């Protein structure tokens, strides 16, 4: 479920944000590297991860090299169509990081556009299963330095 967010300190001007979302079934609650719930990073729990794995409606999704390229291209094309500036992007087999400069669209709308564009592009290439997990993580950048740190993080990986 996508949650609405509010910025409590209205004195801070938002420069942009880093968005992260995962492929279906690959980074479940309890994951061995930890997981995020309601904006809080929580510790691994093997039993919780196992329980969540047993509840999946289809197999976990891992993107291959070709599919990762399709996802990246679709997101970049959607950003261009929305007149948004993507400062950095990387698509892994199990998740996506995108650094976006702030614009008029809400974060929720931005993620929805990007996820849908990638889903449609993959479907057009023959990929016909559930693609994304629900929700996403966001990390706010309130100045150029913070934005550059997120860009560097994505580019390092």
pLDDT in tens, 138-149: 999 999 999 999
3-state SS class at 67: helix
- Kindly state the percentage of the chain with pLDDT values over 70: 92
Query: Which two three-digit tokens encode residue 122?
Result: 């993959």
Note the pTM of the prediction, 2 decimals.
0.84
Query: What's the pLDDT score for residue 123?
Result: 97
Q: What is the CA angle 30-35-39, rounded to 5?
A: 135
CATH classification for the domain delimited by 16-23+62-156, as one of 3.10.105.10, 2.120.10.30, 3.20.20.70, 3.30.70.1290: 3.30.70.1290
Query: What's the pLDDT score for residue 90?
Result: 97
Closest CA to 59 of 93, 24, 28, 95: 24
Distance between CA 147 and CA 153 in Å, rounded? 10
User: Do residues 131 and 119 touch, judged by C-beta distance below 8 A?
Assistant: yes
Domain boundaries, the chain: 16-23+62-156, 27-60
Pick from 32-36, 51-55, 110-114, 127-131: least confident = 32-36
């Amino acid at each position: 479920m996508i949650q609405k967010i509010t910025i409590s300190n209205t004195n801070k001007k938002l420069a942009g944000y880093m968005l992260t979302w995962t492929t279906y079934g690959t980074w479940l609650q309890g994951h061995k590297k930890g997981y995020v719930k309601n904006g809080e990073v929580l510790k691994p729990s093997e039993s919780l991860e196992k329980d969540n794995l047993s509840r999946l409606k289809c197999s976990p999704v891992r993107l291959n090299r070709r599919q990762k390229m399709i996802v990246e291209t679709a997101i970049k094309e959607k950003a261009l169509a929305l007149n948004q500036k993507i400062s950095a992007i990387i698509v892994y087999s199990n998740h996506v990081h995108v650094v976006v400069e702030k614009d008029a669209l809400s974060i929720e709308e931005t993620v929805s556009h990007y996820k849908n564009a990638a889903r449609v592009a993959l479907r057009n290439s023959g990929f016909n299963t559930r693609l994304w997990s629900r929700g996403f993580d966001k990390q706010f950048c309130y100045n150029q330095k913070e934005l550059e740190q997120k860009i560097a993080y994505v580019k390092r990986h």
